[in-house]
A and B are shown apart, each in its own frame.
Chain A
Amino acid sequence: MQYETVIGLEVHVHLKTKTKAFCGCSTEFGQDPNSQTCPVCLGLPGSLPVLNKRALELTIKTALALDCKVNNYLKFDRKNYYYPDLPKNYQISQYDMPISSNGFIILSSGKKIKIRRAHLEEDAGKLIHETDSSLVDYNRSGMPLLEIVSEPDINSPDEAYEYLTNLKLILQYIGVSDCDMEKGTLRCDANISLRKMGDKELGVKTELKNMNSFKAVKEALQFEINRQAEALNNGERIIQDTRLWDGQKEITVSMRSKEEAHDYRYFPEPDLVPFSIEQNFIDQIKKEIPELPQARASRFIKDLQLSEYDANVIIQDKALADYFEECAKLYKNAKNISNWLLGAVSSEINSRKASIQELKLKPEDLVGLIEEVDKATVSNLAAKEILTLMIDSGKSASAIISEKGLAQVSDEGELGRLADEAIKENSKSVEDYKAGKENALMFLVGQVMKKSKGKANPKVVGEILRGKLK
């Protein structure tokens, strides 16, 4: 039987605010347990929430970047459920009037994945399980969370992966979140169901949780597709439940303990007043939104003549793309910059496990190095070594070249002398060349390069040798 896969994704990201959503406690990570708490985020009796304006702004900013409609009236609701990391045993969230709705993300195939809604809510604390007890740290409690819910428009694990990648990139571009799954600043749950090809009605879905990377999302979805398909083929019914991804065993496991029906008893949060969002407030926020990744890639292709591939690779890292633009302001041949960034510079980034900002390499210095190669002051090969030295020392290319005497030798007198030596010492190769073997010349060029300790300009050497062996 052929099945169609239907996937909807629910992404939670921490918004980058200084303080929590409803109180003035810090949002900094990795602090001592319960050191960033107050009556409000501890949910102490009598405490009351007051909304952080910045959290609202960042939510609207995200909505705009995702082409969502920003609703001009919004309110908060209480979602009631019991869990020890949820200090009030309700979460302040948004139910029927989310901040925004009806957005989309475009995949490389051109397919639009619709975004049903994006809303603001508060995070819970953290539970640490010990052998016979659990410990609760409320530092995370009350941090602003943005929930972004897609429509079930995704039809494969690959599409899910691309949706997530694009979403993350947009969120990073607009600076609303770090989107770091390891730190828990981005979390993703998935709803997945199968239906017979051509069926209109959706099948019974399961909810997948506990995936801690985009790769895990992809794997969990693939596992679930196989599991559901097998069950359906055996004539079984899919049971609607929540399943946890076990990354070790690479399977999903049903959370049977959650047998209780979800009855969240949403009602309007009486402790917060409603908000009406004025157009000029939205316009202000709109101004904060930078060029988004897909628009940037198109511009790189059109205005800077990058290949589609290069453009799409460069924009994946906002800092790298910013760096690229800085260089392109100083140097005409953007393609050349991109080759350097995606080649030698990226290897340096990888081997040093640093970001482009962390490397001691100013855009003008990289451009300086490229220009030395253009001027044939140094060979491509030598340039790569110079790059390493530049990053080590923070010095410019020209400084290193003159310090270490690395400039190419193009002086015909000096090179002619070395060429004569090479011809004398390699009579066999000379004969081969004369017999028409072009490779033999390359060998001789290599010999001259060796004698010059790599400083000879190979192009000039080639011409000199050709002249002498005529």
Chain B
Amino acid sequence: MITKKDVEYVAKLARIGFSESEIEQFTKQLGAILEYIGKLNELDISKVEPTSHVLPIKNVYREDVLKKSLPVEEVMKIAVAKDKNQFKVPKVIE
């Protein structure tokens, strides 16, 4: 059973701010969804390989050949905040 504490921990991992009441609502909703997902425990999967790629393709790579980068003006056009052609963020406190 997922607890409020679990939800708070996950919110922290996911970097999403929540109000107290939202945490409570999410605990309930996620609890219901997880209970439904618990259905998967009915199956014996001990001898089953996982499928992370649905198609049997492998060994896809590119040669080490230079491609044009974006012009720096194009890059900086998307920036929320910038300074000296760099993305500006609130100070990182280490």
Answer yes or no: A and B touching, Cβ < 8 Å: yes
Interface size on A, residues (CB 8 A): 51
Interface flag for B25 (CB, 8 Å) = no
Q: Taking chain A's interface residues, is the majority helix, strand, or loop, or is none over half, making it mixed?
A: loop
Interface size on B, residues (CB 8 A): 35
Residue of B12, B59, B65, B87 near A18 (CB, 8 A) is B65
Smallest CB–CB gap between A239 and chain B, Å? 18
Inside 8 A of B90's CB, which chain A residues have their CB? 133-134
Inside 8 A of A50's CB, which chain B residues have their CB? 60-62
A133 to B84, CA, bound (A): 13
> Scoring B residues 8 to 25 as 1 if CB is less than 8 Å from chain A, else 0, what string do you get?
000011010000000000
- A37 and B69 contacting across the interface, CB-CB below 8 Å: yes
Interface flag for A53 (CB, 8 Å) = yes
- A42 and B75 contacting across the interface, CB-CB below 8 Å: yes
Interface flag for B44 (CB, 8 Å) = no
- A25 and B61 contacting across the interface, CB-CB below 8 Å: no
Interface flag for B92 (CB, 8 Å) = yes
Interface flag for B45 (CB, 8 Å) = no
The closest CB in chain B to the CB of A136 belongs to: B87
Interface flag for A375 (CB, 8 Å) = no
Taking CB atoms and an 8 Å cut-off, the chain B residues in 47-94 that contact chain A are 52-53, 57-70, 72, 75-76, 78, 83-94
A24 to B5, CA, bound (A): 44
Inside 8 A of A257's CB, which chain B residues have their CB? 93-94
Taking CB atoms and an 8 Å cut-off, the chain A residues in 218-272 that contact chain B are 255, 257, 260, 263, 265, 267-268, 270, 272
The closest CB in chain B to the CB of A58 belongs to: B64
A188 to B90, CA, bound (A): 28
Interface flag for A202 (CB, 8 Å) = no
A51 to B64, CA, bound (A): 9
> Scoring A residues 20 to 33 as 1 if CB is less than 8 Å from chain B, else 0, what string do you get?
00011110000011
- A34 and B89 contacting across the interface, CB-CB below 8 Å: no
The closest CB in chain B to the CB of A42 belongs to: B75
> Scoring A residues 45 to 82 as 1 if CB is less than 8 Å from chain B, else 0, what string do you get?
00000111111100000000000000000010000001
Interface flag for A381 (CB, 8 Å) = no
Smallest CB–CB gap between A96 and chain B, Å? 12
Smallest CB–CB gap between A287 and chain B, Å? 18
Q: How many A-B residue pairs have CB under 8 A?
A: 123
Inside 8 A of A24's CB, which chain B residues have their CB? 62, 65-68
- A34 and B64 contacting across the interface, CB-CB below 8 Å: no
- A25 and B89 contacting across the interface, CB-CB below 8 Å: no
- A273 and B92 contacting across the interface, CB-CB below 8 Å: no
Interface flag for A128 (CB, 8 Å) = yes
Q: Taking chain B's interface residues, is the majority helix, strand, or loop, or is none over half, making it mixed?
A: loop
Interface flag for A423 (CB, 8 Å) = no
Q: Given contacts A133-B88, A134-B92, are A17 and B64 in contact (CB under 8 A)? A: yes
The closest CB in chain A to the CB of B81 belongs to: A133
Inside 8 A of A276's CB, which chain B residues have their CB? 58-59
- A34 and B61 contacting across the interface, CB-CB below 8 Å: no
Q: Identify the interface centre among B12, B58, B90: most chain A CB within 10 Å of its CB.
A: B58
The closest CB in chain B to the CB of A77 belongs to: B52
- B66 and A273 contacting across the interface, CB-CB below 8 Å: no
- B94 and A133 contacting across the interface, CB-CB below 8 Å: no
- A37 and B64 contacting across the interface, CB-CB below 8 Å: no
A24 to B89, CA, bound (A): 27
- A23 and B15 contacting across the interface, CB-CB below 8 Å: no
Smallest CB–CB gap between B2 and chain A, Å? 16
Inside 8 A of B63's CB, which chain A residues have their CB? 52-54
Interface flag for A19 (CB, 8 Å) = yes
Smallest CB–CB gap between A254 and chain B, Å? 12
A158 to B35, CA, bound (A): 55
Smallest CB–CB gap between B12 and chain A, Å? 7
- A19 and B65 contacting across the interface, CB-CB below 8 Å: yes
A51 to B93, CA, bound (A): 33
Inside 8 A of B91's CB, which chain A residues have their CB? 129-130, 132-134
Residue of B52, B61, B85, B93 near A270 (CB, 8 A) is B52
- A37 and B65 contacting across the interface, CB-CB below 8 Å: no
Inside 8 A of A272's CB, which chain B residues have their CB? 60
Interface flag for A313 (CB, 8 Å) = no
- A135 and B62 contacting across the interface, CB-CB below 8 Å: no
- A135 and B52 contacting across the interface, CB-CB below 8 Å: no
**Can you list 14 contacts pairing A with B, beta carbon distance less than 8 Å?**
A26-B66, A34-B75, A35-B85, A52-B61, A52-B64, A53-B64, A75-B52, A133-B89, A134-B90, A135-B89, A270-B52, A273-B53, A274-B58, A275-B61
Chain A to chain B: the 10 pairs with minimum beta-carbon distance, closest first: A24-B67, A54-B64, A135-B86, A53-B61, A268-B52, A136-B87, A51-B61, A134-B92, A50-B62, A33-B85
Task: For the A-B complex with A35-B72, A37-B69 known, give 12 more contacts whose Cβ atoms are closer than 8 Å.
Answer: A18-B66, A24-B66, A32-B85, A82-B15, A133-B89, A134-B89, A134-B90, A135-B86, A136-B89, A260-B12, A265-B13, A268-B52
